[in-house]
Structure 1
Amino acid sequence: MKQVLLVIMMCFAINGYSQTEFSSKFKAIPPLDTSIKTKKAIPAPVAPPDIVAPNILKKPEVKFQSTNFKIGDPDPISMIQTNDFINPGDEVRDKMNKNIEKSLVNNGLKENTSYLNLKDLDFGIIRTKSKSLTIRVRDYGAIDGDLIKATVIHNYKGTVLANNLYLESSFKDIKIELQEGLNYLELEALNRGSLGGNTGAFYIYDKEGNLLLSDLWNNFDTGVKSNFTFIKE
């Protein structure tokens, strides 16, 4: 009996030792992961191609990227005419011509055409009891072939007093016989002189030789008139 109990106690002792030994040192090994993991490939960025405009005007090449072009942006290629083919000497020539023209004007050898008078000039109303008037005219600038036409108008009827009258440095006389009421006188520039606009000076005298009016017209274009109104009282 004692032997049987001893055997049973030894079995419990061995069993308890075995459980303690395995529970403290044994560790489970996880199964090996055999699945293959791959990274997704990211393509490298590619720069957009450059578009080069043809060098047709001998200018630096114009480059632009197609991705930067937007509707409404200015076109880098212009079809507007440029000055690339103009002779550089033309600018120097034009400048010299302007300087020469300015010098001639300043020295009285040429009339200034930069401010031609394109409108008729009215010299107002003159009242007189004289039966006739004398208008003395001349060119007050350089003598360059200025021509005028003198016309008197009464009751809507015009009478030419002088045609193609050549203006010189000396005075030329135009006589007017006044009618009762309104008398209109027109001095019309028939041309522009060879040196510029039509220029002239005038003096108006009554029959007794009294000076009624004196003045001048300056740089008239062809067809422009000096207008006068005479009232015989």
Structure 2
Amino acid sequence: MSFGLNAQIDSKNKSFAIPAVKAPKDSLDSKPLLPAKPDLKDKLSSLDFPKPLPELNLPKKEFSMFPSEEFANPGELYTKKLEKIEKALLPEGHGENSGLKEDAYWGDYRTTSKYINIQYRDHGMIDGDLLRVIVNGDVIRSREYLSRGFNGFKLNLEEGFNKIEFYAINEGSALPNTAQYRIVDDKSSVITGKVWALAAGVKVTIIIIKE
């Protein structure tokens, strides 16, 4: 009885092969992963570039005859300009107790004016300086006393050359004869002007040419 039971058990326990199931191929690539390259076009389009600034119309620097200088006080600049102009007008021999010892020719100037105004004054101490004015050989003012303010006269110009002479009669009480003259056209523009220091008896000549 025990034998038959064992046989039944053996028959039920017959071994059988389980077919191997083939594993699906691994989908992962064995190669190392590299970061994706960014799309440069997309990157540039996403950036916010600054907008170009509008052009600034800066004011142009005005032309000036005088060099550019910085002064805390505007009056100081004005004084310096006057000093430079005055030095440019000073003739040779100007200075304390000095004077031009010889007659001098101070140039010729052209104008279309019908007339000019000849003006003069004492440039130094009011000390009795006297002046004579001669035009084309004729004495127009024989004995002009030089004061602080400008005095003078109007002169109708002849066609061509007009010879103007300033003659220092004396040197006053404070040597030498110190004066300033200027010649102004019919539009109130200065044609020429100068500061002098003349010894007594010295004459300076200017030619005005009417065109």
| TM-score normalised according to structure 2 size | 0.53
Q: Which has the higher contact order (CA 8 A, sep 6+)?
A: 2
Number of positions where the alignment pairs a residue of Structure 1 with one of Structure 2: 117
1:185 and 2:168 are equivalent in the alignment: no
Distance 1:204 1:131 in 2: 13
What are structure 2's unaligned runs of at least 5 residues?
1-94
Find the partner of 1:174 among 137, 145, 153: 153
User: In the alignment, which residue of structure 2 is the partner of 1:96?
Assistant: none
Distance 1:214 1:183 in 2: 16
Distance 2:123 2:114 in 1: 29
User: In the alignment, which residue of structure 2 is the partner of 1:204?
Assistant: 183
Distance 1:167 1:112 in 2: 18
User: In the alignment, which residue of structure 2 is the partner of 1:59?
Assistant: none
Output the amino acid matched with 1:172.
N
Displacement over 4 Å in runs of 4+: none
Displacement after TM superposition at 1:166 (Å): 0.2
User: In the alignment, which residue of structure 1 is the partner of 2:200?
Assistant: 222
User: In the alignment, which residue of structure 1 is the partner of 2:132?
Assistant: 149
Distance 1:213 1:202 in 2: 8
Give the superposed CA RMSD. Answer: 1.3
Distance 2:199 2:128 in 1: 14
Displacement after TM superposition at 1:162 (Å): 0.8
Note if contact 1:131-1:178 (Cα within 8 Å) is conserved in structure 2: yes
Note if contact 1:138-1:171 (Cα within 8 Å) is conserved in structure 2: yes
Displacement after TM superposition at 1:202 (Å): 1.3
Distance 2:204 2:179 in 1: 10
Describe how 1:1-233 pairs up with structure 2 within 5 A.
Answer: 112-113=96-97, 115-153=98-136, 158-218=137-197, 220-233=198-211
CA offsets 1:82-120 (integer angstroms, 9 cap, x no match): xxxxxxxxxxxxxxxxxxxxxxxxxxxxx832x332112
What are structure 1's unaligned runs of at least 5 residues?
1-110
Displacement after TM superposition at 1:175 (Å): 2.0
Distance 1:199 1:127 in 2: 27
Q: Partner of 2:128: helix, strand, or coil?
A: coil
Distance 1:117 1:125 in 2: 20
Displacement after TM superposition at 1:122 (Å): 1.8
Displacement after TM superposition at 1:174 (Å): 2.5
Distance 1:230 1:116 in 2: 25
| TM-score normalised according to structure 1 size | 0.48
Percent identity between the two aligned chains:
36
Output the amino acid matched with 1:112.
E
